[in-house]
Amino acid sequence: MKPLKRKTYKKLLEPMQLELVAAARWVQSSGQRIVILFEGRGAAGKGGAIDAIREHLNPRQCRVAALPTPSEREKTQWYFQRYVEYLPAAGEITLFDRSWYNRAGVEKVMGFASESQLAAFLRQAPLFEKQMVDDGILLFKYWLCCDQAEQEARFAERLDDPLKRWKLSPIDLAARQHYDDYTAARERMLKATHTEWAPWTLVDCNDQKRGRLTLIGDLLSRLPDTFVPEKPLDFEPLPGKPSVERYGALHPIPSRDG
C-alpha cells in the first residue's frame, strides 16, 4: 500500500478535528475527564498523533504530559506518584506522551528497573487504572506499532535533519540493538495490563498519516455521542473609526520584508 499523500491526509483529518473540537466542548460542558496514553517504540509516531489531536483544542483544556527522567527524590516515591499530579480535573483532557508504562518498556529493556520492580508494576498498574476508571475518568491506551526497518529509516531522517535531531536521544540509539527485547517486554506488558476496564488498542503506524487517522477515528468512535451546541458570541461592528496601534519611547522591530 502506497503511503498516504499529505493532501489526502489533510482532507480526511479535517472533519475528524472538527469532531474533536465538538468532543472537547462536551468534555468542558459535562465536567468529564479524559486520559489518553500514547505508547510505542522510539519514532513510532506518538508526537505526531498527539499534535494532530490537540492542534485545534484549547491548550488550557487539553494538556500534554511528557515527563522527564525522574529526579533522585522521585526515584524513592511510589512509582505512580509523579504521574498523579498530571491527571485531569473536571473538563480537562491529558495526553500522555509516554506514561507510567515506561517501567514496562524502556526501564525494563535498558536495565533501569529490576525484575522485582517490574513485577510490582505489572501487578499494580491494572489496580491503579481501575481506580481512575471507577472515579469516572475515561481512559484510552494506545500502542503505536512500527517495524524495525521503518524505525531505522525514521532514526536516519532525524539524524540528517538538524530541525529533528533533538528527537534522537542516546537511549534511542542504544535501543536500536534491542528491537526484539522491546517486543518481548511489550507482550508481557499487554498480557498483564490489557483489562476489561482499561484495554489496549494497537495501531499500525508504519504509515504515520494512516496511523493517526486510524487512532483518531477509533478514539472518536469510543467517546459518547453527546452534542453540545456552541454558545453564540455577539460580534457587532465597533462604533466610530478603528484606532491605530501607537507607541511611546519604544519602537517595534520592522518586519523582515519592510
Digit-coded pLDDT (tens) for 212-225 = 999 999 999 999 98
Q: How many CB atoms lie within 10 A of CB 178?
A: 15
Confidence of residue 15 (pLDDT cuts 50, 70, 90): very high
Task: For residue 57, give the C-alpha cell.
Answer: 483544542
The pLDDT score that the predictor gives to residue 248 is 81
Round the average pLDDT of the chain to a whole number and report it: 95
Alpha helices in 74-205 (DSSP H): 81-84, 106-109, 115-134, 148-160, 170-175, 179-193
d(CA 133, CA 127) in angstroms, rounded, equals: 10
d(CA 112, CA 74) in angstroms, rounded, equals: 14
**pLDDT tens sequence across 113-132:** 999 999 999 999 999 999 99
Q: Quickly name the fold that domain 6-222 has.
A: Rossmann fold (3.40.50)
The pLDDT score that the predictor gives to residue 225 is 81
| H or E stretch at 200 | strand 200-204
Neighbouring-strand partners of residue 204? 145
The SS3 of residue 94 is strand
**pLDDT tens sequence across 120-176:** 999 999 999 999 999 999 999 999 999 999 999 999 999 999 999 999 999 999 999
* Global confidence as pTM: 0.94
pLDDT over 90, % of the chain: 87
Cα dihedral: 24, 199, 221, 224 (round 10): -50
Domain ranges of the chain: 6-222
d(CA 31, CA 247) in angstroms, rounded, equals: 43
The pLDDT score that the predictor gives to residue 258 is 52
